[in-house]
A = this chain, B = another copy of it.
């Protein structure tokens, strides 16, 4: 039985606002004052709902990966390994320069290096990135079984590669690269996957 005064804010929309603050300023750069203002609540509500700043970040990351998961499912639904890579990297070029969001990727902008006391924030982000990589790897394993990738191809290495390019594009986006520049990177990057693809006879 749930009693007491009901909360007056929607946790998901509040998380969307928090996500944006972390995305733009990073975990350490984001202050509770900025977060609460963006979320439209006061500190006690934040702490009652999310525990502490790191709990809020994790909740925001969960929401981010959940939203992205839908898109990733579309990515790996492409019919060939090459098309998976293209759909992924071209999609990233779009998303990371979408003016509706801060530039780059939350899983990178959130915090690559942190100070004493926040050491596990980078690991938290890395774990989420690894999920994407695993999804790609599984897809490439299947592509190899399908004969879509060469016998010599290493699905895990390919997944790591595509993941690395995606991260690199995120950093470029956050430092001002425009959509066309990212598309060019994606275009070149796809050619490496193409080189690992079996010849279509």
Contacts and interface: CB of A to CB of B under 8 A. Distances in A.
A-B pairs with the 4 shortest C-beta distances? A29-B115, A164-B168, A126-B175, A168-B168
A47 interface: no
Interface centre among A30, A154, A165 (most CB of B within 10 A): A165
Interface residues of A, number: 57
Given A109-B112, A165-B168, A168-B171, 5 more contacts: A25-B116, A29-B113, A29-B115, A108-B171, A171-B171
Contact of A115 (B31, B116, B123, B165): B31
Interface string A147-188: 000000010111011011111110110111100010011011
Count identical subunits in the complex.
2
Interface of A: 23-26, 28-31, 34, 104, 108-116, 118, 122-123, 125-126, 129, 154, 156-158, 160-161, 163-169, 171-172, 174-177, 181, 184-185, 187-196
Contacts of A166: 168
